Structure 1
Amino acid sequence: MNLSANEAERHAGASSAMTLFADEGLPFPPVPALLLASMKQQGAAWFATRPVASTPYDFHHFLDEVETQPELADYAVVGFDGHGTNSWAVHFYLVGTGIALFVKLPWGGAYMDPEPARAHIAEIFDWAAALLSRLQRAESAGHIPPGLRLQVAASQFDHAGWRWLGTGQDAAQAPWNPPSGMRAALLQELDDVIAGRKVLTAQRS
């Protein structure tokens, strides 16, 4: 198969991003195939599907952006970023029609024990894949109202929690569910939505 120059560049970005994670002995996060094909390197060790105005370590920039720009086009950011000797993390940010998922976990710090960190990252990425699969099922069944997005902050450095946020809703007034037990709670939440045990409504201000 002969690839055009643009297609080759796109494939190269995805391949380089996946190689970066493999070299660290880490699984690659569950980036949807369409977004993965658009990956381009934007920093020394991180990739994104669109130009972004901040490095991934600035977690709150991405949270604030999706809250103030609800019509933001789908995108993904993956890779490693940080500063100093111990403030380093692996990042997986994914924004889509019904999801705004922000994962930031310790990786690469001088005082980090890599094996427990590696196991935890793999566990979180597996959970993220299960979450996205359930969300897709709920969307396909028409159970996610237009304009409603699941916002998830999974960070050991910054804010963490989850909530449903509607287009036009005042993010400052929308309460977060606590991070304690978040993984199980979110999977159960989506199982209930898929089964019709919970009906979601788009909240607007």
Structure 2
Amino acid sequence: MNAPAREPAVGTALPGTAPALFVSEELPFPPVPAALAGALQAQGRAWFATRPVGSSPYDFHYFLNEVETQPDVADYAVVGFDGHGTNSWAVHFYLVQKGIALFIKLPWGGAYLEPEPARAQITEMFDWAAALLSQLKRAESAGKIPPGMRLHVAASRFDHAGWRWVAAGQNAAETPWNPAGGMRAAVLQELEGVIAGRALVDGANPQGQRA
């Protein structure tokens, strides 16, 4: 069983950079875009962000609510480890920028967590996130994403999970989420459809939310 790196012994120094912190946990680094990765700064005991934020990353809903109420929030990324108690610990990767608001929170570091299955799940999720960002970039480069349209993705084993498109000027708080079941395949399939021109041509009725 691995000891939680989030609660190191007194006097134990944590790695000074975000990538080194993930290496110390034998975890892959999440796919933070290069433009943001260089701006990551230590914000807490074991997490980094590209800007000051009003909450530690374990408060998943703080970040969801922020992007709902402040759709023009500046691009940012948050990565690292946070939690409380003996078993409420998680790895976090939050990314908000043009076209995407992605929030990933998965179990890591709790006293009762089996590390190898958890490590495999985290690796798989980060690989999927990299594929999602690549597909989204393709869709944007092809001019298939209407101005102001953003894909919201919430992937948490503790909190809310699901995905949806939110258009410019749309009330995100009243926009329904597609269910989390089969989400990873559904989102990639959705983006393939967007690239092929089968969805989001004018920003109305995105696939998966049709009337």
- TM-score, normalising length from structure 2? 0.88
Cα distance per residue 1:139-161 (max 9 Å; x no partner): 01110001110000000000000
The alignment covers a number of residue pairs equal to 191
Question: Distance in 2 between the 1:191 and 1:123 partners?
Answer: 20
| Residue in structure 2 matched with residue 62 of structure 1 by the alignment | 63
* Aligned partner of residue 56 in structure 1, secondary structure: coil
Give a deviation string over 1:63-106, Cα, whole Å, max 9, x none: 00001001111100000000000000000000011000000000
Deviation at 1:168, TM superposition (A): 1.8
In structure 2, distance between residues paired with 1:19 and 1:172? 37
Q: Is the 8 A contact 1:47 1:79 kept in 2?
A: yes
2:8 corresponds in structure 1 to: none
The question of 1:29 aligning with 2:23 is answered: no
CA apart distance, 1:200: 4.3
Tell me how far apart the structure 2 counterparts of residues 200 and 92 of structure 1 sit (CA, whole Å).
30
The residue that corresponds to 1:121 in the other structure is 122
Question: What is the alpha-carbon distance in structure 1 between the residues aligned to residue 120 and residue 156 of structure 2?
Answer: 16
1:15-26 alignment, distance < 5 Å: 16-26=17-27
Unaligned runs of 5+ in 2: 1-14, 205-211
Q: What letter matches 2:105 in structure 1?
A: K
Tell me if the contact between 1:147 and 1:202 (Cα under 8 Å) persists in the aligned partners. Answer: no
Alpha-carbon distance, 1:167 to partner: 2.3
1-structure distance, mates of 2:177, 2:200: 18
TM-score, normalization: structure 1?
Answer: 0.90
**Counterpart contact for 2:146–2:200, Cα < 8 Å:** no
- TM-fit CA distance, 1:17: 0.4
Q: What residue number does 2:147 align with?
A: 146
The answer for unaligned runs of 5 or more in structure 1 is 1-13
Q: Which residue identity is paired with 2:127?
A: D
Aligned residue identity for 1:47: F
**Preserved CA contact (<8 Å) 2:68 2:173:** no
1:173 Cα offset (Å): 1.9
Structure-2 residue corresponding to 1:80:
81
Q: 1:26 to 1:167 in 2, by over 3 A?
A: same
Distance 1:54 1:126 in 2: 26
For 1:124, the aligned partner's letter is M
Counterpart in the other structure of 1:166 = 167
Any idea what the Cα deviations from partners look like across 1:38-69, whole Å, max 9, x if unmatched?
A: 01000000000000000000000000000100
User: Counterparts of 2:30 and 2:107 in 1: how far apart (Å)?
Assistant: 15
